[in-house]
Amino acid sequence: MKPMISTFFLSVFMTLTGFISALAQKISDGQTVDINGINVSIAITNKETVEIKGKNYERYKVTATAKNNSGKSFYIRESNYPEYFNKIHGIEFNCINATGLRLTGKQLVLRPKTHTVKATIQTYDQSGKSISKSYNITAGYYFDPEDTLQGSDIFIVPAGEKPDFSVTSSL
């Protein structure tokens, strides 16, 4: 009975993994990809060859851009759950062949802008006098029509290779 249950869970896991990777699209330098009305692109802004522990690698600085051309706003409300349940959504660029050497990236994530609100409360100081205290509180995250998100990171890949990217959106 146990091998049958293990086989079942393995097949479910493989199906989910295949479904998630099917949502990812390949993207290369200078190319623009449309994901649900969001135009995403990457551009290599710098390239150099570096030697690390006697081996040659290619070091790339990559800039990623996302523009909301969908005509609708994306708004993600802040959750009361602990942070490990509350994933901040965004657009993820995964460099498949990145080595991660010298603390460089393997992934670049463009996150929506933070929506903060000012909350004022009435409280008392030590002498009993009434005072107002203001706090900036994160209410959620937004990505409005025609807004642009941009970020950059450095990726190290094996010598002779260009960064191989896939992109997904969780907005």
Q: What is the pLDDT of residues 75-117, one digit of tens each?
A: 988 877 665 555 667 999 999 999 989 889 999 999 999 999 9
Q: What is the pLDDT of residue 19?
A: 45
Predicted local distance difference test score (pLDDT) of residue 142? 93
Taking the complete model, does pTM exceed 0.85, yes or no?
no
Average of per-residue pLDDT values in the chain: 86
pLDDT band at 133 (very low <50, low <70, confident <90, very high): very high
| pLDDT the model gives residue 65 | 97
**Contact assessment for residue 160 and residue 55, using Cβ atoms and an 8 Å cutoff:** no
